[in-house]
Amino acid sequence: MGYFCIPSSQQLPRSNSLLKRLFLLASLLSLQLQVLGHGVVESEQYPLVVSTWPFLEAVRAAWRAVDGGSSAVNAVVDGCAACEELRCDGTVGPGGSPDENGETTIDALVMDGSTMEVGAVGAMRYVKDGIKAARLVMQHTEHTLLVGEKASEFAISMGLPGPTDLSSKESINKWAKWKESKCQPNFRKNVLPINSCGPYHPSPTNSLEHPEEICSNTVQMQTMNSFLPHVGLHSHDTISMAVIDKMGHIAVGTSTNGATFKIPGRVGDGPIVGSSAYGDSEVGACCATGDGDVMMRFLPCYQVVESMRLGMEPKLAARDAIARIARKFPNFVGAVVAVNKTGAHAGACHGWTFKYSVRSPAMADVEVFTVLP
Ligand SMILES: *[C@@H]1O[C@H](CO)[C@@H](O)[C@H](O)[C@H]1NC(C)=O
């Protein structure tokens, strides 16, 4: 929206200036109609902020921005940045989710659903402002995703504070306890040793000389993994947010410090466009959260938006995206929220009860919606 295609005069036949004028007139008329049509919807539905989980302060921050006339992109950044500062749930921003080495890293993404520009950082170290770093990648580079130490160098060189120690007393304590309990649970599979800390080696049952054991072992490990308490309820809580601004432009953003006790170097769904979030101002947006390692294989948010493009209602699109994953990974834990461009929203989830937050002009404050699996 907002991109009205008025052909430049070079593209029209120079010889026929009447045709040219008629064409221009038609373009201007359709422009005016679209703007008017928009205004009607605007008064009821826009602006709109939708976020995973009851991250009330984040939604309020985004709402203040977008209600005050900010662009969708800037409102999404304000909203996610509020969550980073508040360290929502300990899983967004600095000071949470230590990896196997006790270090906290940041994953974040921002997408402009009108230009389809995306900026993201993965496994960023020493810089706490994930979503602002993502916006710097989007607005000041031709790239989409920067990772690791180089992402931090870029962010600092472009003016963000750092280098900063991203661990906190809580994250260090959590990690120390995990080390004491022999690094259990963890994200390794088909390795030795099974019941203690590393260094790890591929388990010999994976050798091609014993193909029959590969299968039984894999099944056993996956079953074990799906019951590990950390793969689920509190270690994958990403903020994923969608905003429709007063112009009807859509933007989405995410920020997370990833899975607790992840293997260093792991990047989850957070900075993967189409997985944790996706938006297209012509269609709508989607936010996702959950077991990112599984979900990123299905690009569930891309799926949701494309289903809506083909005419699916938000509720069906959300359920369909979740069902596609559940068919292959019945034990996965995750959720998506679908929002269409007129502001209708719906969630779907699997393996847990999911909540998401919404603020619209019809609401006095943020409202929290609960979705049952
Ligand atoms: C958005 O979804 C609502 C509810 O399903 C539907 O009534 C409306 O027509 C949809 N809007 C668009 C533009 O598809």
**Are the C-beta atoms of residues 26 and 32 closer than 8 Å to each other?**
no
Domain-located, residue 2: no
Mean pLDDT score, 210-236: 45
The number of distinct structural domains making up the chain is 2
Domain-located, residue 3: no
Query: Is residue 342 lining ligand 1, measured as CB closer than 6 Å?
Result: yes
Mean pLDDT score, 127-135: 97
Domain-located, residue 32: no
Tokens of 81: 């940045």
Q: Tell me, yes or no, whether 155 and 260 share the same domain.
A: yes
Alpha helices in the chain (DSSP H): 17-45, 56-67, 72-86, 130-140, 148-157, 169-180, 211-227, 292-295, 300-309, 314-328
Mutate to test the pocket of ligand 1, among 46, 342, 345, 360 (most ligand atoms within 8 A of CB): 342
Burial class, 177, CB count within 10 angstroms (exposed 0-12 / middle 13-18 / buried 19+): exposed
Amino acid (one-letter) located at 50:
V
Query: Is residue 307 lining ligand 1, measured as CB closer than 6 Å?
Result: no
Query: Percent of the chain having pLDDT more than 70?
Result: 80
The domain in which residue 175 lies consists of 169-225
* CATH (domain of 311): 3.60.20.30
Residue-by-residue DSSP string for 218-273 = HHHHHHHHHH-TTSSTTT---EEEEEE-TTS-EEEEEEE---TTPPTT---STT-B
Q: What is the pLDDT of residues 244-288, one digit of tens each?
A: 999 999 999 999 998 999 999 999 999 999 999 999 999 999 999
- Cα separation, 335 vs 344, in Å, equals 17
Q: Tell me, yes or no, whether 137 and 260 share the same domain.
A: yes
44 CA → ligand 1 middle, Å: 14
Q: Tell me, yes or no, whether 356 and 214 share the same domain.
A: no
Q: Tell me, yes or no, whether 240 and 340 share the same domain.
A: yes
Global pTM exceeds 0.85? no
Shortest CA distance to 176 belongs to which of 253, 236, 259, 101? 101
Q: What share of the chain is helix, strand, coil (3-state, %, to 5)?
A: 40, 20, 40
290 among the known binding-site residues? yes
